[in-house]
Amino acid sequence: MAEHDSGGWTLERTIPSETAIGSELVSGLLAAMQEYAWPAAELFHVQLAYEEAIVNAIRHGNEFAADKTVQVRLSCTADEVRIEIADMGPGFDPDSLPDPRAEDRLEVPGGRGVMLIHELMSEVTYHPPGNRVTMIKRRPPSP
């Protein structure tokens, strides 16, 4: 259930391993960011990082298994957005992923999501065993 109070906006949900349902949740977060007057470019960055992470959890973590769920926690304040996603998969070591910028990987479809998430967010932590990620976006300083 989504909550909005003086401490910010939060949403906690347990969803089935369906990408369409996972994708729907980000709309509330984006609306909260707009209420806090986040720059449009930051909304785009957060949406893209969220989409990459939720699809990774459902596709790679849970392997679309109908008996597995994904825990999603989203929060937003005037200064920070926090996204926490946990799947029921065995986890992975993000440091073991091949560099998608390597010459032999340039034409390989996929494999860029984790790198993209790190580029878009202020802080990214994969918690052992690697089936839970916390992503934080901090509001950039005003020009």
Interval 49-106: pLDDT, tens? 999 999 999 999 999 999 999 999 999 999 999 999 999 999 988 777 656 556 665 5
- Topology classification of domain 2-138: Heat Shock Protein 90 (3.30.565)
Q: Which two tokens stand for residue 5?
A: 């109070």
3-state class (DSSP) for residue 17: coil
Residue 58 per-residue DSSP state: I
Question: Judging by DSSP bridges, how do beta strands 8-16 and 80-86 pair with one another?
Answer: unpaired
pLDDT of 109 reads 54
Backbone angles phi, psi at 121, to 5 degrees: -105, 160
Backbone angle region of 130, left / alpha / beta, with phi > 0 → left and psi within -120 to 50 → alpha: left
pLDDT one-digit tens code per residue, 14-47 = 999 999 999 999 999 999 999 999 999 999 999 9
Sign of CA pseudo-dihedral 12, 16, 19, 21: negative
Please give the Cα distance from 29 to 45 (Å, whole number): 12
Global pTM value: 0.88
